[in-house]
Amino acid sequence: MHAFRTHTCAELTKDAVGQTVRLSGWVHRVRDHGGVLFIDLRDHYGMTQVLCDPDSPVFSQVEKVRSEWCIRIDGTVKARDESLINPKIPTGEIEVFIRDMEVLGTAEELPLPVFGDQEYPEETRLKYRFLDLRRESLHDNIMLRSKVVQSIRKRMWDIDFTEFQTPIITASSPEGARDFLVPSRLHPGKFYALPQAPQQFKQLIMVGGFDKYFQIAPCFRDEDPRADRSPTDFYQLDMEMSFVSQQDVFDTIQPVIAGIFEEFGGGRRVDTDWPLISYRDSALWYGTDKPDLRNPIKMQIVSEHFAGSGFAIFAKLLEQEGTEIRAIPAPGGGSRKFCDRMNKFAQEQGLPGMGYIFWRKVDPSGKGNDEGSGWGFGEAAKSDPKELAELAKLGVQYDANSDQFMEAAGPLAKNIGPERTEAIRQQLGLEVGDAAFFLGGKPASFEGVAGRARTVIGEELKLIDEDRFAFAWIVDFPMYEKDDEGRIDFSHNPFSMPQGGMAALEGDPLEVLGYQYDLACNGYELVSGAIRNHKLDIMYKAFEIAGYGADEVEKRFGGMVNAFKYGPPPHGGCAAGIDRIVMLLADTANIREVIMFPMNQRAEDLMMNAPSEPTGEQLRDLSLRVIPQE
């Protein structure tokens, strides 16, 4: 017999009844039923119920066993009574009577329980991650991740991509985040960098004549943490192709991503129509470049209805250059209570508030009005143009779709009057019981809040289809942006080809669009990529606009500059975030729930005590000195 097990804790069925078996695993929980001890024995594969009574020669030993002890048992497989069968587990028809036991490892008092899914502080969970990983939900997430990576690899090989590995120790490169620097012992005062992405290397692979490359690549970025981003390192499906257009990249990666979500999405619907939405339109309609299209709300510009209106705040705002008023439709949000709640939300986001209008049902005769005493019109007004016109002057409209009379309510409606209010309702396609919220100013000042408000409205009004994965390609990203000090800098990947080539770079940099694209899914960015700039003269000009002279470009990107002198092919590609893909498939909003050993919010590894202070000898070897922080 094997030293530790003849079967796993998920293998035994009724066919094994009467056999002598050996199992090893962890004590999931112990139950004492009138002197009979039942143990749920757990291993990586599943659970088996084992039991012991005073007739067992090791009963006294089994009595001492506690949760999460690691044990080996020998015993006889028995069939459970029909009334005690557990259909939820594969071994639910049997149990094993213990005849011998060996304690393989005892456990101290647990800092967090493995049995059950109780919420525990994240700091505790990360410090004792090895225990946390034994919990069923997290264990399942990590196994899901492994299967997703395996499936991705197979899918990429199946479409003739070849997997190559690129260096981990390399040169610093501007990728939009801070580098992790690695001091060189052999070259004092010089530093390597951990790659933010294999960007330059995968382009050089194309120059080297390999047609289709992919890699499950580790990437390292010294970033501020958030729920959907690791603060130190992450993995991505990195891919690159030669002789391709933007659409070729889309056509290649879409079946891979869609296939993964169909395979592991648990039956949730995977959209097959992935719209192309420009960055500009995405910001306007959704307030973000990673929209959640499960939410049907689409924002619109309604400036014309407030220009010169009685609502002085918006009217004066629109006299300033570059300002506009945007509306967020809220189907089903037509109550003062909800509107006040959303106004408070805007204030919590740092804005003075958020204007609103809501439409409520009224009785034109005055009977059953929510507020007020009515207008004295009867049902015949529905078909009488004169009476409808009179009602319209009073702010009452007849909606033929719902066969109801309605009026607009709220401070904005009173200030701008019934005609403008009705024009807004018509533009937004709203009905009785709906509302609209309004934000104004320069879009950059309120776009983010508008996007978050759209999300909150969609969630609170239950407009979001939770049982669906909705994808969209966001395209036509601006190549450049102004930083806080007014300097022109790259807004996205600096190695992208500008649309229009060299001619586009001769005009206003802020109007230049790149062949850059992201794939959004359910409010997260899953994929980012570009058609690369493989022409040296355009590359020099693009970096010059961002403040990098030719000498600086050659110093930072010498390998790529040199390679582009020798027949570089047109090429492009993208990278898909493995962690975020698994996070969506596992239906969790925290990326640390799908990473085996993540850092905490302060980029600390509480389990391994990293980062740690170097020894004096290590610093001397590297010719470094640490300057104490004040």
Domain stop point among 449, 464, 479? 464
Token pair 């056999």 in the structure block, residue: 19
301: in domain:
yes
Which of the listed residues 464, 489, 506 is the one where a domain comes to its end? Answer: 464
Query: Would residue 237 count as lying in a domain?
Result: no
Confidence of residue 376 (pLDDT cuts 50, 70, 90): low
Peptide bond into 611 cis (omega under 30): yes
What percentage of the chain exceeds 90 in pLDDT?
A: 82
User: Tell me: the pLDDT tens digits for 346-371?
Assistant: 999 988 889 999 998 877 676 444 44
Q: What is the CA radius of gyration of the chain?
A: 32
Residue 370: per-residue pLDDT: 47
Note the pLDDT of residue 556: 86
Residue 472 is assigned to a structural domain of this protein? no
Query: Is the pLDDT at 228 greater than 80, yes or no?
Result: no
For the residues 603-608, what does the mean pLDDT come to?
Answer: 94
Least confident of 10-24, 174-188, 502-516, 596-610: 174-188
Q: Does residue 417 lie in a domain region? A: yes
Cβ(267)–Cβ(395) below 8 Å: no
Would residue 263 count as lying in a domain?
Answer: no
The CATH number given to whatever domain includes residue 60 is 2.40.50.140
Q: Cα–Cα distance between 457 and 455 in angstroms, integer? A: 5
Ranking 270-284, 343-357, 368-382, 531-545 by mean pLDDT, the lowest is: 368-382
Asked whether the predicted pLDDT for residue 391 surpasses 80, the reply is: no
> What integer pLDDT is reported at residue 366 of this predicted model?
63
The yes-or-no verdict on residue 345 having pLDDT over 80 is yes
Find the mean pLDDT for residues 596-609: 93
CATH no. for residue 409? 3.30.1360.30
pLDDT at 65: 96
pLDDT digits (tens, 9 = 90+) for 533-589: 999 999 999 999 999 999 999 988 889 999 999 999 999 999 999 999 999 999 999
Give the residue numbers spanning the domain of 24: 14-105
Measured between alpha carbons, how far is 203 from 201 in angstroms, rounded to an integer? 5
> What residue type is assigned to position 267 of the chain?
G
414-436 tens-digit pLDDT: 899 889 999 999 999 999 999 99
Write out the two tokens for 328: 């967020």
The pLDDT score that the predictor gives to residue 369 is 45
Q: How many domains does the chain have?
A: 2
CA distance 445 to 458: 22
Q: What is the pLDDT of residue 114?
A: 93
Percent of the chain with pLDDT over 70: 95
Question: Of 575, 626, 586, nearest to 195 (Cα)?
Answer: 575
Question: What secondary structure does DSSP assign to 244-285, as a single string?
Answer: --HHHHHHHHHHHHHHHHHHHSTT-EE-S---EEEHHHHHHH
Query: Are the beta carbons of 351 and 446 closer than 8 angstroms?
Result: yes
Beta-strand pair 180-183/524-531: unpaired
What does the alpha-carbon distance between residue 253 and residue 161 come to, in Å, rounded to a whole number?
11
| 539 falls within a domain | no
Residue 380 lies in a domain: yes
Out of 72, 105, 138, pick the residue that ends a domain.
105
Task: Report how far apart, in Å, the C-alpha atoms of 462 and of each of 333, 465, 615 are.
Answer: 10, 8, 56
Q: What's the mean pLDDT when you consider all of the chain? A: 92
474 and 282 Cβ atoms separated by less than 8 Å? yes
**Residue 133, CB half-sphere, CA atoms under 13 Å: how many?**
15
Q: Which residues contact 402 (CB under 8 A, 6 or more apart)?
A: 431, 432
Confidence of residue 373 (pLDDT cuts 50, 70, 90): very low
Q: Note whether 65 and 30 are within 8 A (CB).
A: yes
